[in-house]
């Protein structure tokens, strides 16, 4: 006989064997016992949660020789034939490949016939959401008033795609994802029956990878048998699935918690050299960080963690290096990067950047700044302007001695500040202003300090248009911030237009027409060589 996959061999055959769906099994059993059987059901839920298996069990319960019974024997001829899939009155139909109106018309004609050998005719339609709108419309009347002894079971993973007219004619049951503990326990039971050596932590690893699907879990176990043999080694399973070990994830979170950037990046480099998938690494690292948060905030986190006892103990040892606010911030950052990694051409660079940023968190706090040594100002040559401080750099800690103000300029009051000092430092002010935006620096470069009265600085422009742009509140505020940063004094800036100098008039100049309004401003703004004046006939 040909080999049969584990998920088919160990498919549940009675309601008692269906795991994690007690609310559905109990309702169906009570309906059979009380003779309140509906003529149509919708079984919806994620893949591998038991929809088709439960539909077959319901068909056996209705047609068992000892029934209808809520506990089919699974031994009589009808139960065996339904289990093997060759009962003439239990028909399975794949709506993904039979989705048109012609197939539904054929089904509608078959429904009128009485059962051939069984007590009920049961139609199991998988992926029913794939039917076309016309097929659904042709199916409505038959689904609403089917002939006696006919039961429809519609299985789907996307119930939202079913028309409301279909749902209103059926009893709906929503299948739930299976907890990892239930999947792991079932995998160990199957391994024991098959004579396999399977560690509990490996079973839990497979259960987490199955994501709530029993079929996926058994499929992964089948794959591990082909790779490892009868003894399933944990490290070999990690290599097969391409997953990072739990010990590495714990050590990585420990390095980030201690803000050890070098150790964290070295671990990432080792995982990259091993050929691990960066997207899977990000998913499991987020899951591991979520577990660490639960350990940090819950008194008894074990029921909430799908981890082995050793993994929980190792992860709890790293909890002291994390604070609760930092954990929530890190979890939000990692979760946010999932969509970025999906389309990134360099996913490893994204992960390295995120972990490095998590290590640098709270570097601006006073407790960290206190550990930084004060930076001494280096001597400068005569006439050399003071260095420009990068934007966003935290202030140096106070060393106890008299310190110069920002930019190395001694503090002055508005009365002591002279126009000559402002003019000598104007290039430095513009350099600081450029860090706020190149456009700001380009705008104020057209102006020159003209006069200072108290704490009001007049900046003169040659063109009225540029002066009006500089009068905007955001432009003035930017220059005032740069002046305070360089000069150490809060000044108020007032832009104005400088008195235009009258050029000497030569004998040839007297014959030239006066420039039209705006040409002088355009030449000042863009440069005389870039302004071309065309006559009307040349346009």
Q: What is the pLDDT of residue 520?
A: 67
Q: What is the pLDDT of residue 412?
A: 42
pLDDT over 90 (residue 150): yes
Question: Which position has the higher pLDDT, 338 or 39?
Answer: 39
- Report helix, strand and coil shares of the chain as percent, to nearest 5: 50, 10, 40
Q: What is the pLDDT of residue 225?
A: 93
pLDDT over 70 (residue 494): yes
Q: What is the pLDDT of residue 481?
A: 86
pLDDT (mean) for 217-229: 93
Question: Which position has the higher pLDDT, 351 or 488?
Answer: 351
Which residues, in sequence order, are bridge partners of residue 456? 453, 492
Helix (H) or strand (E) holding 205: helix 200-210
Q: 180-241 and 409-497: same fold? A: no
pLDDT over 70 (residue 400): no
| Both tokens assigned to 339 | 């969509």
- Please return the burial class of 287, using the count of CB atoms within 10 Å of its CB with bins 0-12, 13-18 and 19+: middle
Cis peptide before 68 (omega within 30 of 0): yes
| Both tokens assigned to 231 | 């003894």
Instruction: Given CATH 3.40.50.300, say whether it is the number of domain 6-174.
Output: yes
376-399 pLDDT per residue, tens: 444 444 444 454 444 444 444 444
Query: Burial code of 427-458, b = ≥16 C-beta within 10 A, e = fewer?
Result: ebbbebbbbeeeebbebbebbebbebeeeebb
Which residues, in sequence order, are bridge partners of residue 122? 90, 151
**Residue 453 pLDDT level (bands cut at 50, 70, 90):** confident
Q: Select from 153, 120, 16 the least CA-distant residue to 71.
A: 16
Which residues, in sequence order, are bridge partners of residue 248? none
Q: What is the pLDDT of residue 499?
A: 62
Where are the domains positioned within the chain?
A: 6-174, 180-241, 246-359, 409-497
DSSP string for residues in 109-129: HHHTSPPSSSSSEEEEEETGG
Question: Which position has the higher pLDDT, 232 or 369?
Answer: 232
pLDDT (mean) for 27-43: 94
Q: What is the pLDDT of residue 242?
A: 87
- Please return the burial class of 286, using the count of CB atoms within 10 Å of its CB with bins 0-12, 13-18 and 19+: middle
pLDDT (mean) for 80-88: 90
Mean pLDDT over all residues of the chain? 82
Other CB atoms within 10 Å distance of the CB of residue 132: 14
CATH fold for the domain made of 246-359: Zinc Finger, Delta Prime; domain 3 (1.20.272)
Which residues, in sequence order, are bridge partners of residue 479? none
Largest CA distance in the chain: 125
Q: Select from 225, 192, 312 the least CA-distant residue to 3.
A: 225
Q: What is the pLDDT of residue 126?
A: 93
Tokens 């005569």 — which residue?
A: 382
Q: How far apart are the C-alpha atoms of 316 and 528, rounded to whole Å?
A: 72
Question: Which position has the higher pLDDT, 507 or 13?
Answer: 13
pLDDT over 90 (residue 335): no
pLDDT over 70 (residue 315): yes
Q: What is the pLDDT of residue 233?
A: 92
Q: What would the 3-class secondary structure string for 7-36 be?
A: HHHCCCCCHHHCCCCHHHHHHHHHHHHCCC
107-118 pLDDT per residue, tens: 988 888 888 888
pLDDT (mean) for 64-70: 89
197-208 pLDDT per residue, tens: 999 989 999 999
Instruction: Provide CATH code, domain 180-241.
Output: 1.10.8.60
Q: What would the 3-class secondary structure string for 311-359 be?
A: HHHHHHCCHHHCCHHHHHHHHHHHHHHHHHHHHCCCHHHHHHHHHHHHH
Q: What is the pLDDT of residue 79?
A: 92
pLDDT (mean) for 422-435: 84
Q: Are 392 and 475 in contact (CB under 8 A)?
A: no
DSSP string for residues in 152-170: EEEEES-GGGS-HHHHTTS
492-497 sheet: strands from edge to edge: 448-453, 456-461, 492-497
259-290 pLDDT per residue, tens: 889 999 999 999 999 888 888 899 899 999 99
pLDDT (mean) for 115-140: 92
Angle between helices 309-316 and 246-257 (to 10 degrees): 10
CA-derived radius of gyration, the chain = 39
Query: Burial code of 333-354, b = ≥16 C-beta within 10 A, e = fewer?
Result: bbeebeeebeeeeebbebbbeb
Most confident segment among 168-177, 238-247, 340-349: 168-177
498-534 pLDDT per residue, tens: 764 444 444 444 444 445 556 766 776 666 766 777 6
CATH fold for the domain made of 409-497: GMP Synthetase; Chain A, domain 3 (3.30.300)
pLDDT over 90 (residue 417): no
């Amino acid at each position: 006989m040909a080999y049969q996959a584990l998920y088919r061999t160990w498919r549940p055959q009675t309601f008692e064997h269906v795991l994690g769906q007690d609310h559905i099994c109990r309702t169906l059993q009570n309906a059979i016992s009380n003779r309140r059987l509906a003529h149509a059901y919708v079984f919806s839920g994620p893949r591998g949660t038991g929809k088709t298996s439960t539909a077959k069990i319901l068909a056996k319960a209705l047609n068992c020789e000892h029934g209808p019974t809520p506990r089919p024997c699974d031994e009589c001829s009808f139960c065996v034939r339904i289990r093997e899939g060759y009962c003439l009155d239990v028909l399975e139909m794949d709506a993904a490949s039979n989705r048109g109106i012609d197939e539904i018309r054929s089904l509608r004609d078959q429904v009128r016939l009485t059962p051939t050998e069984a007590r009920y005719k049961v139609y199991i339609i998988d992926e029913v959401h794939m039917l076309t709108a016309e097929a659904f419309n042709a199916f409505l009347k038959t689904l609403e008033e089917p002939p006696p002894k006919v039961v429809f079971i519609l299985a789907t993973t996307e119930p939202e795609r079913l028309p409301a007219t279909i749902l209103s004619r059926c009893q709906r049951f929503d299948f739930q994802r299976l907890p990892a503990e239930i999947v792991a326990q079932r995998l160990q039971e199957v391994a024991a029956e098959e004579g396999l050596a399977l560690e509990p932590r490996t079973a839990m690893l497979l259960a987490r990878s199955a994501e709530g699907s029993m079929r996926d879990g058994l499929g992964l176990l089948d794959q591990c048998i082909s790779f490892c043999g009868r003894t399933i080694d944990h490290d070999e399973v990690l290599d097969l699935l391409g997953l990072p070990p739990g010990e590495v994830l714990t050590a990585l979170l420990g390095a980030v918690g201690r803000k050890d950037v070098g150790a964290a990046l070295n671990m990432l480099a080792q995982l990259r050299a091993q050929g691990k998938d960066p997207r899977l690494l990000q998913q499991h690292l987020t899951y591991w960080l979520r577990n660490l948060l639960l350990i940090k905030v819950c008194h008894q986190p074990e029921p909430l963690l799908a981890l082995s006892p050793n993994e929980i103990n190792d992860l709890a040892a790293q909890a002291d290096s994390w604070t609760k606010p930092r954990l929530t911030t890190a979890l939000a950052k990692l979760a946010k990067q999932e969509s970025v990694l999906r389309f990134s051409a360099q996913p490893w660079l994204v992960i390295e950047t995120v972990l490095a940023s998590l290590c640098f968190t709270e570097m601006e706090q006073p407790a960290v700044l206190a550990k930084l040594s004060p930076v001494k100002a280096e001597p400068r040559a005569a006439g050399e302007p003071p260095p420009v401080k990068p934007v966003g750099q935290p202030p140096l800690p106070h060393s106890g001695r008299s310190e110069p103000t920002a930019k190395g300029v001694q503090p002055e009051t508005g009365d002591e500040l002279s126009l000559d000092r402002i003019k000598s430092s104007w290039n430095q002010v513009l350099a600081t202003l450029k860090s706020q935006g190149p456009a700001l620096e380009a705008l104020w470069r057209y102006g020159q300090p003209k006069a200072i009265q108290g704490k009001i600085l007049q900046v003169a422009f040659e063109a009225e248009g540029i002066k009006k742009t500089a009068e905007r509140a955001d432009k003035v505020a930017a220059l005032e911030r740069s002046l305070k940063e360089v000069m150490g004094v809060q000044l108020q800036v007032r832009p104005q237009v400088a008195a235009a100098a009258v050029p000497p008039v030569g004998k040839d100049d007297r014959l030239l027409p006066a420039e039209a309004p705006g040409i002088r401003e355009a030449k000042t703004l863009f440069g005389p060589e870039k302004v071309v004046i065309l006559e009307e006939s040349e346009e």
